[in-house]
Amino acid sequence: MTDVNEEVKKAEKALEEKRVALKEPYLQKGRDVDSAAKSISSTLLTLRTNANDKYGKLCSALELKRKEQSVELQRVAGIKSGIDSNLLAFSTEIAGCDTTEKLLAVERKLNLEKGRKEKYQEFLSDFVEKAKKLTELITSQKEKVKELESVVAAKNEAIEKEDDGAAIELMQKEEQIANSIADNKVIVQQTAINQAIQRYPTEFAQEVFPNVKSKKTWKYEIVDKAKAFKADMVTVEIDATKAKATLQTLKETNQLEGKEEITVSGIRYFADIKY
């Protein structure tokens, strides 16, 4: 029996050695395939990473330009709106003037406004051009007011001298001039309104950017440890459960609209934009 067992063991060993020997070439070919596939995958991963990095940088640059253009459009719109508002305000002041002194005060104020380069920037010439019409109307109004003041003074003098004929004639002339001044006030305000709805001669080309799809993911990090600890938002690191709950509240209450980041209880929540 012992001899049989020994022979069986020898046969099993020989079988195993033969199995290993026969299988080895195929295993090596498999390892070669895996190695080649790993090498190719690594190259593809590098290509994908480089492409994504370049694309991400390009998209970020486009987004920056888009934001810069938006800021510029708001700046220009603010200046143009300011010009129109100021012209309307000046027209209201002019319409409210009933003496030469008041008209002179508004005229001086308007002349000073024409030199406000820091306020109107590249649109100063537009403001100056539009203000010319108001200046012309102020001059016309001053002449009428001076004439009215002269007539009123002559009328009062005629009344004192009991010259009824002259007084009545001067009263009629006073009424005519007063009506003319009232008409002029309407013209002043109408002029300002018409100028406000006119197109500006100074325009600039607006760059059109391609639409880029992006996915915004909000993340969080500690920016004020003291506040975060006081709010029981962290242990050794950010308490993800509480931070996510706060983030969800911010989303539901629309506090993230139009923002790229926000800090609450010492935790900075920021948008991680990937393309």
Q: Where are the domains of the chain?
A: 74-196, 215-274
Give the 3-state secondary structure of residue 21. helix
Q: How confident is the model at residue 155 (pLDDT cuts 50, 70, 90)?
A: confident
- At 199, list the tokens: 């197109």
Q: What angle do CA 49, 55, 58 make, to 5 degrees?
A: 145
* Tens digit of each residue's pLDDT (9 = 90 or more) over 204-237: 556 666 676 777 788 888 888 888 888 888 776 8
Contact between 170 and 158 under an 8 Å Cβ cutoff? The reply is yes
Q: Which residue has the tokens 């640059």?
A: 61
Q: Which residue has the tokens 């029981």?
A: 232
How far apart are alpha carbons 82 and 75 in whole angstroms? 11
pLDDT of amino acid 269: 92
Q: How confident is the model at residue 246 (pLDDT cuts 50, 70, 90)?
A: very high
Give whole-number Cα distances, 114 to 96, 108, 150, in Å: 21, 10, 31
Contact between 218 and 269 under an 8 Å Cβ cutoff? The reply is yes
* Tens digit of each residue's pLDDT (9 = 90 or more) over 69-128: 888 989 998 998 888 888 888 888 887 787 888 889 988 999 999 999 999 999 999 889
- At 232, list the tokens: 């029981």
The interaxial angle of helices 124-160 and 100-113, nearest 10 deg, is 170
Q: In DSSP terms, which residues pair with 270 in a beta bridge? A: 219, 261
